[in-house]
Structure 1
Amino acid sequence: MWCRLGLSQTSAEARYQSLKISFTSETMRASSLCLLFGLVLMMTWTSEAEPQAAVIPEKCCFNFIDFAIPSAKIKSAEKTDSHCPVPGIVVTTPRTEFCVDPAEDWIKTYMEKRADQENKKN
């Protein structure tokens, strides 16, 4: 058979060996890529499986008003969460919300009166 093709047996074996090496290296590359992709996918999946929930407060104050709000206009006043970078009080009026510095005298007075009223109810 080798004679009809005009090839010697050694050249046919050499071509076979080079084909075999080429095929093996391509298969190894594909297997390595699949393995690498699988590992990356697994790392991504496991890192998202148990996320570390960051504590993000619902409301924080960064800018404060510089005027007093009349007590009759205040619907509610709540301290910001302790996880906020700056302490503040969120004051809600019929129209909007304001951030107030807790060091302001007028809000201290309002919060004390409100606390007294709640204590009387209980």
Structure 2
Amino acid sequence: MWCRLGLSQTSATARYQSLKISFRSETMRASSLCLLFGLVLMMTWTSEAQPQAAAPIPEECCFNFIDFQIPIKKIVSAEKTDSHCPVPGIVVTTPRTRFCVKPEEAWIKSYIKEQLKKT
């Protein structure tokens, strides 16, 4: 077969090797470009997933609520949590600590009502 083409076996082998190297480099270049394109696409997609205008982050929200009544004379203050909190609550401060209370509790409702009368 080499004789018909007028090539020697060594030159045919050399030509095959150069084609093989050229093909490998083209394949590697295409793979690199696909990888780069995929990374850019993924970065664009994840950056669009971020919220454009984030709501203000509240300083304090309630997630765990107490199930007992705090004596009224121990309460220093009671404040409603921010409206951006996922669950409404009232933060009750005593001289030692702070508690979260559900706003539906009757005793906290009466305390807040009394505080509003005083002001």
TM-score range, shorter chain: 0.5 to 0.7
Following superposition, the deviation at residue 50 of structure 1 comes to 7.1
> What residue in structure 1 maps to residue 97 of structure 2?
96
Residues paired across the two proteins, number? 111
> What residue in structure 1 maps to residue 65 of structure 2?
64
Greater CA deviation, 54-63 or 98-107? 54-63
TM-score for both structures, normalised by structure 1: 0.65
CA–CA distance in structure 1, aligned partners of residues 101 and 7 of structure 2: 94
Following superposition, the deviation at residue 48 of structure 1 comes to 3.3
> % of aligned pairs identical?
46
Following superposition, the deviation at residue 100 of structure 1 comes to 0.8
> What residue in structure 2 maps to residue 22 of structure 1?
20
1:106 counterpart SS class: helix
Letter of the structure 1 residue corresponding to residue 77 of structure 2:
S
CA–CA distance in structure 2, aligned partners of residues 95 and 15 of structure 1: 88
Q: For structure 2, which runs of at least 5 residues remain unmatched after alignment?
A: 1-5
Q: For structure 1, which runs of at least 5 residues remain unmatched after alignment?
A: 1-7
Letter of the structure 2 residue corresponding to residue 16 of structure 1:
A
In the superposition, relative to structure 1, how do residues 96 and 29 fare at CA in structure 2: closer, same or farther (>3 Å)?
farther
Following superposition, the deviation at residue 30 of structure 1 comes to 2.1
Following superposition, the deviation at residue 23 of structure 1 comes to 1.4
Q: How does 1:71-110 map to 2 (within 5 A)?
A: 71-110=72-111
CA–CA distance in structure 1, aligned partners of residues 101 and 90 of structure 2: 5
